[in-house]
């Protein structure tokens, strides 16, 4: 995915995948480690290609943050459209030199707080613009913040809570067991990705209202 902003910062999420080949299961773990090493080398070489200018976001007084990565996904960070295009082209070129390619179908653009509507291209193809996307099961949208993700988390945890209705109504299970199940099966769904949320008073209140509602039902408080 790509998030571009002239006034703020841009994030480019790219799925870098190996040219399709068969990998036997006993070698899968070794393949993953080899892929990670190769990807790190690609990013190092890509950094050399763009090191003449500042192409990341300001992280500390002296340092910029250029990229984040997870598994086979890469997030490139930039302030401007021009910087993001340079990074995209550089990464594609270095990846191709070692037999890897960027999955264009899984590479999206999210523009935030910018008047620049020019497309980001990859090998002559325009990458798709989106208003939101899911990354590591968390919602990121053009409004920023955490509202969209929290709304989805609330809905999923509510559905999970209703699926365990028989447990909450059980006369055989103790309250302590029910509370343990609630913590392990419901709160984990509710708070997934909470480390990245902007913890405002409104958000905390929404989460607490849902938790209190569930506890009232578990404890049979009317």
pTM for the structure as a whole: 0.63
Predicted confidence (pLDDT) per residue in 83-131, tens digit: 888 888 888 888 787 777 888 888 877 777 777 888 889 888 998 888 8
Burial class (CB in 10 A: 0-12, 13-18, 19+), 171: exposed
Predicted confidence (pLDDT) per residue in 154-169, tens digit: 999 999 999 999 999 9
DSSP-assigned states of every residue in 22-33: ---GGGHHHHHH
pLDDT band per the 50, 70, 90 thresholds, residue 138: confident
Yes or no: say if 147 and 40 are a contact pair by the CB < 8 Å rule: no
Give the chain's length: 222
Predicted confidence (pLDDT) per residue in 10-28, tens digit: 445 444 443 333 333 444 5
Yes or no: say if 122 and 92 are a contact pair by the CB < 8 Å rule: yes
């Amino acid at each position: 995915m790509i998030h571009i902003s002239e006034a703020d910062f841009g994030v480019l999420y790219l799925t870098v995948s190996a040219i399709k080949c068969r990998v036997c299961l006993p070698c899968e773990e070794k393949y993953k480690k080899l892929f990670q090493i190769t990807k790190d080398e690609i990013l190092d070489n890509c950094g050399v290609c763009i090191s003449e200018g500042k192409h990341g976001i300001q992280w500390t007084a002296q340092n910029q943050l250029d990229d984040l990565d997870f598994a086979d996904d890469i997030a490139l960070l930039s302030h401007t459209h021009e910087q993001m295009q340079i990074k995209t082209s550089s990464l594609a070129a270095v990846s191709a030199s070692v037999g890897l390619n960027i999955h264009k179908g899984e590479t999206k653009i999210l523009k935030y707080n910018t008047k620049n509507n020019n497309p980001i291209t990859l090998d002559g193809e325009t990458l798709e613009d989106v208003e939101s996307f899911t990354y590591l099961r968390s919602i990121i949208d053009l409004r920023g913040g955490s509202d969209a993700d929290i709304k989805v988390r609330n809905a999923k945890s509510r559905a999970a809570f209703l699926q365990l209705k028989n447990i909450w109504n059980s006369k055989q299970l103790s309250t302590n067991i029910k509370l343990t199940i609630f913590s392990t099966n419901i709160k984990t769904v509710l708070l997934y990705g909470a480390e990245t949320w902007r913890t405002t008073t409104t958000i905390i209140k929404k989460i607490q209202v849902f938790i209190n509602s569930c506890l009232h039902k578990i404890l049979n408080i009317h």
